């Protein structure tokens, strides 16, 4: 009986560590400058653009997985859980991706997931990066 209660307690703790998308960016921290690895090319001020907000879910689940944000195939930043980037993007289709690794030495696994977004003038696009058991870190569109 004690083992069953302990197992239930462990499951509740693990569920509490799961990640989830939090609306807006007030619960997130901006990616620190030392982990911005490449230039984000923004259109000139006054030129039509859209806004991109990319967030990595907070939480312990998947925290050991490294994740690098890619914009149009180029590495831009290493993003940790609970962090975000926000920038202006030129109109047209852009490819956003996340390259991840589990850093397990000789048994390391890595992969890249990508998502195309058609950026329109004045629109804000939210993208969410999060760990998915068995799939590493994934990226998808979000409404918030």
Region of residue 143 (left: phi > 0; alpha: psi -120 to 50; beta: else): alpha
What total of structural domains would you count in the chain?
Answer: 1
Residue 76 pLDDT greater than 70, yes or no: yes
Share of the chain above pLDDT 70, in %: 80
Tokens of 68: 């690098």
Give the residue-averaged pLDDT of 79-86. 95
pLDDT, position 17: 45
Phi, psi of 97, rounded to the nearest 5 degrees: -145, 170
CA angle 25, 79, 130 (to 5 degrees): 75
Band (pLDDT 50/70/90 cuts) for residue 104 is low
| pTM for this model (two decimals) | 0.80
**For residue 128, how many other CB atoms are within 10 A of its CB?**
21
**Domain assignment of residue 98, given as a range:** 2-142
Strand partners, 140: 128
Q: Which CATH number fits the domain that encloses residue 111? A: 2.60.40.2890
């Amino acid at each position: 009986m004690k083992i069953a209660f302990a197992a239930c307690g462990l499951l509740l703790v693990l569920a509490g560590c799961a990640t989830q998308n939090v609306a807006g960016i007030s619960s997130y921290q901006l990616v620190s400058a030392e982990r911005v690895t490449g230039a984000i090319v923004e259109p000139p001020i006054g030129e039509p653009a859209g806004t991109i907000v990319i967030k990595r879910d907070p939480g312990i689940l998947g925290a050991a997985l490294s994740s690098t944000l890619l914009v149009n195939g180029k590495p831009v930043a290493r993003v940790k859980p609970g962090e975000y980037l926000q920038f202006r993007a030129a109109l047209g289709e852009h490819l956003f991706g996340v390259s991840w690794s589990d850093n397990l030495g000789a048994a390391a696994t890595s992969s890249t997931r990508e998502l195309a977004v058609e950026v329109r003038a004045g629109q804000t696009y939210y993208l969410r990066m999060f760990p998915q058991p068995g799939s590493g870190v994934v990226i998808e569109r979000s409404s918030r």
